[in-house]
Amino acid sequence: MRNNLRISVLVCTVLSLVPFSLANAALAAADQTQGEERVIHHPKVEVEKAIQDLHATLKGRLPILDGFAEQSGEQWDRFTRGYFECAVQVVANGQDETRVRITAKITAWYTDPNPAQSGYRVLVSNGRVETDLLDRLEETFAANDPASVTPQSSHSIASRPESFHNSGLISPLARLRSGTSNLAAADTSTPVRGEMNTVSPKPAASIGASAIAGPSSSQDIQSIRHQREEAEKKISELNTVVHNLDEILQNQTHPTDIAVVRKAGTHVMPKPSVVGPTLLLADSEDEFQVLDSGPDWVHVQISGVSRGWIRRSDLILPAGMKETLNRVDAATPANAQSFRVVREETNTFKGKWEPLNGKMVKIIWAGSESVGAPASSLAIRNFAKSLLVKAYQDISHNSEVAGVVIVFDSADGGQISATIQGMTQWQSGRISEASFWPLCLVEPADLFDR
């Protein structure tokens, strides 16, 4: 009886370990399928040197995503600002043999119908970027040793869809853009993937050499002529593809509310102030959507509901937005000089507005600097906005103060009352300035519409 019990316990233990072993084996197999891999018959030192020479092409922007990333279930036209970055793993198989694996990470900005769900997303590479980089590495050694590279790709090039998006034209495009039109410069000996993968004509240099040596028969002459015609046809097709891609790039819609970071290490702050913690350090050419802007700081969307502030001098603003902001900035000093803070105090709210009734508030009296004509509604709103931003920074950590009241002490003055909850939503970026003002008590109601 005791032996039977021990056998039962042993069997249960073994059965419980089988799923874990199978799961680990599946994960290991999945890891091996990521990226693209080839074996190069050269020492590891030489391969690493060649990869270092290709370092500038290991990351960059993608003109389109279709053809470079797997379909994610979302609409392609909702993705913009595609970017790729490759990780390279180099392992020596022996003294004169090296295994190279390249894995590409593709990211793009996704614009969701719900703005709170918008942000940068990571897409799965379909192997195009990795294969192209391995082709370039292969070309580096092929000049001296045509048989030096053995393809070990985990994705078959021939199995990819036959469309010009998947035709592997990154390297040929670079050569054609430089103005090369003759057969030798176009390097037509390298097969082009996709719909043009069926023709592999000889280079023009080889054709010329055969002609000089002298053909043995009229059949050889016809064969050389046919190869030349096929090579010229391929160049014509490549030029057509280049032209189509140029049109796609020119017709792409460029956002008008995107600011670009000037230099690496730019601070993104949680508030429009250099004092306090830093949310993140932006890199050069990082792009952010502009939510609001002032003379010194720009309110930007980081990702989803995340917001931050960047100094305006650290950003390159779109041309149209820059002109608009310059006009506003030119008007702001004159408007700001129309008022001054007379006095401040913390006291109980005396009005009947329910959100602040009987609660402690910070009261700010503002006096007019000019005599005669009343201040414009724009001047009143801009001055009130600056006071609320400053007051929020002062009282946000004081749990006893429930809001701010601004009193314009003049013949045509008014009063603006705001709760700390509404100001927190505005300053944290959960709501815009336009959505903030309806949460306030503005007296008279037409104070901003005179």
Q: What is the pLDDT of residues 419-445, one digit of tens each?
A: 999 999 999 888 988 899 999 999 888
Domain map of the chain by residue range?
A: 1-32, 35-155, 163-253, 258-327, 337-443
Residue 417, classed as helix, strand or coil, is: strand
Whether the per-residue pLDDT at 199 is higher than 80: the answer is no
Instruction: Record the pTM.
Output: 0.31
Residue in 183, 165, 163, 167 with CA at minimum distance from that of residue 175 = 183
**159 or 93, higher pLDDT:** 93
- Quick one: how far is CA 180 from the chain centroid? 33
Output the pLDDT for position 120: 86
Output the pLDDT for position 272: 85
The conformational region for residue 318 under phi > 0 = left, psi -120 to 50 = alpha, else beta, is: beta
Instruction: Give the C-alpha separation, 23 to 37, whole Å.
Output: 24
Whether the per-residue pLDDT at 92 is higher than 80: the answer is yes
Of the pLDDT bands very low, low, confident and very high (cuts 50, 70, 90), residue 267 is very high
| Mean pLDDT computed over 159-171 | 39
Instruction: Give the C-alpha separation, 105 to 83, whole Å.
Output: 8
Residue in 229, 236, 238, 255 with CA at minimum distance from that of residue 194 = 238
| % of residues, the chain, pLDDT over 70 | 67
Of the pLDDT bands very low, low, confident and very high (cuts 50, 70, 90), residue 250 is low
Output the pLDDT for position 294: 77
Assign domain 258-327 one CATH number from 2.30.30.40, 2.30.42.10, 2.40.10.340, 2.60.40.420: 2.30.30.40
Q: Which segment of 312-321, 341-350, 379-388 scores lowest on mean pLDDT?
A: 312-321
Beta strands 315-316 and 339-348: pairing type?
unpaired
Whether the per-residue pLDDT at 90 is higher than 60: the answer is yes
| Mean pLDDT computed over 400-417 | 84
Q: What is the pLDDT of residues 323-335, one digit of tens each?
A: 555 554 444 444 4
- Token couple for 381: 């709103």
Q: With 0-12 CB in 10 A as exposed, 13-18 as middle and 19+ as buried, what is 197? A: middle
Output the pLDDT for position 377: 77
Output the pLDDT for position 364: 92
Output the pLDDT for position 331: 44
| Mean pLDDT computed over 102-118 | 88
Residue 181, classed as helix, strand or coil, is: coil
Q: What is the largest CA-CA distance in the chain?
A: 109
Output the pLDDT for position 25: 42
Q: What is the pLDDT of residues 390-403, one digit of tens each?
A: 899 888 888 889 99
Most confident segment among 18-27, 361-370, 381-390: 381-390
| % of residues, the chain, pLDDT over 90 | 22
Q: What is the pLDDT of residues 359-376, one digit of tens each?
A: 999 999 887 765 445 667
Whether the per-residue pLDDT at 63 is higher than 60: the answer is yes
Of the pLDDT bands very low, low, confident and very high (cuts 50, 70, 90), residue 321 is low
The upper half-sphere exposure of residue 324, i.e. CA atoms within 13 Å in the direction of its Cβ, equals 10
Of the pLDDT bands very low, low, confident and very high (cuts 50, 70, 90), residue 411 is low
Whole-number mean pLDDT of the chain? 74
Output the pLDDT for position 310: 93
Of the pLDDT bands very low, low, confident and very high (cuts 50, 70, 90), residue 168 is very low
Structure letter (DSSP) for residue 125:
B
